[in-house]
Amino acid sequence: MALTRIGLAGLAVMGQNLALNIAEKGFPISVYNRTTSKVDETVERAKREGNLPVYGFHDPASFVNSIQKPRVIVMLVKAGAPVDQTIDTLSSYMEKGDCIIDGGNEWYENTERREKAMAELGLLYLGMGVSGGEEGARNGPSLMPGGSYEAYKHIEDILLKVAAQVPDSGPCVTYIGKGGSGNFVKMVHNGIEYGDMQLIAEAYDVLKSVGNLSNHELQQAFSEWNKGELLSFLIEITADIFGIKDDKSDGYLVDKVLDKTGMKGTGKWTVQQAAELSVAAPTIASSLDSRFLSGLKEERVRASKVFQSGGFSDILGGQPVDKAKLIDDVRQALYASKICSYAQGMNLIRAKSIEKGWDLKLGELARIWKGGCIIRAIFLDRIKKAYDRNPELPNLLVDPEFAKEIVDRQAAWRRVICLAINHGISTPGMSASLAYFDTYRRESVPANLVQAQRDYFGAHTYERVDMPGSFHTEWFKIAKQSKI
């Protein structure tokens, strides 16, 4: 057998699909998995899907030796210890100049640690975010490789063909930057995804709980939204979900799904990093909190009985809702909230880039997210153009086009949140986005009082608006004397 162009280790759903994608693009690929049945299953699937050049190996030595030099091996295994174990297994058969790529959702500092360890062995290392789920991996994901530039050049020709292709902006891949930047960018991408999903869920809740829209009406509304400014993968699949009937009983499947959200951890990492970097990310944080609260199903059921006579739905006196008006208001509120969520994610990436010296290009990140990934949306083209207009843009909110769009939607945004509050419907994501906007746009905020309190009880000092320097006041003594 002739040597293959690349290897892939780890044949769970993502690994198997990415291997078939690579083979389909004309690159013979060797595959390996500790559980050998997965290897056979992948090879068999490759035959069924067009006799693709996928070659399976049951032992690591044969696998590594089947790849042409300098060898390039992609790992798609669970983050953490399994990655280290796979590296130990494979690297013992690899030679100087060979390259390992971790395609999992790994913590960026682990990637930086491994890159240094591999460099000592003479091996090149990349941490590559892969977004798009099963479908994206098979037919074209968004790829975020970071680490050794030399390693990237070894595999660039493959990645350019394997990535999602967007007609007006090219393949959804670029060299992100040094160190763990690829993993960090993928992590924030997932945090933005958390925010997006939460905002869509809130739009659904308001339309269903306040507007009494049926699943059929919800499907129509979301399908219509997907033809305009909200055109995106998540809006598209949401419309699909509302139309699927339950195959096990009467009614629609969405109504039978338990309201308890799972998570893998990247959203939590994003919020932790925002706190570490002192970057406000309230929309993303509220989406994480909402997942935590959703997990308290039994407690929420008990609480609903305690507050059954709360009278929330009676506050508006049962006034009828204009469905068409509500649908349009919610559309505008969702879009304005989404701008704030993406602004937070982009600011977080910029802050980390400055801290680490990565020199990340925010417009280029928006470009590679336009296809393949879960947050792909027409909206990302506007973000790219905003950063093209001004690469030093401090916040998406102050880009002239986005600023106008938010102002135009502001009244509808406020109406939706007030309506939800008066009906006892929580909209934490939309509310957090509006609070973020309202705080960011104000010249003065009440932080002067907080700083005065800090100086009162902890002598933390404060600055003044009318003269330079740091000041401390004996607030307690003055207050005590004034009470005598």
Residues annotated within a binding site:
10-15, 33-35, 77-79, 105, 131-133, 189-190, 194, 264, 291, 454, 460
Determine which helix (DSSP H) or strand (DSSP E) holds 6, and give its type and residue range.
strand 6-9
Residue numbering of the annotated binding site for NADP(+): 10-15, 33-35, 77-79, 105
Instruction: Identify whether 193 is a catalytic site residue.
Output: yes
Residue numbering of the annotated binding site for substrate: 105, 131-133, 189-190, 194, 264, 291, 454, 460
Identify the active-site residue in 38, 178, 186, 384: 186
How far apart CA 333 and CA 310 sit, in angstroms, is 27
Tokens of 461: 């000092």
Instruction: Identify whether 356 is a catalytic site residue.
Output: no
Identify the active-site residue in 106, 112, 193, 202: 193
At a CB cut-off of 8 Å and minimum separation 6, what does 365 contact?
144, 174, 176, 185, 346, 349
With b meaning 16 or more CB within 10 Å and e meaning fewer, what string describes 112-148? bebbeebeeeebbbbbbbbbbbeebbbbbbbbbbbbb
CB atoms within 10 A of CB 203: 28
- Residue 462, judged by CB atoms within 10 A of its CB (0-12, 13-18, 19+), counts as middle
Tokens of 345: 């994610």
Which residues face 448 on adjacent strands?
A: none
Q: How big is the chain, counted in residues?
A: 484
The side-by-side arrangement of strands in the sheet containing 142-147 is 54-57, 29-32, 6-9, 72-75, 99-102, 124-131, 142-147
* Residues with active-site annotation: 186, 193
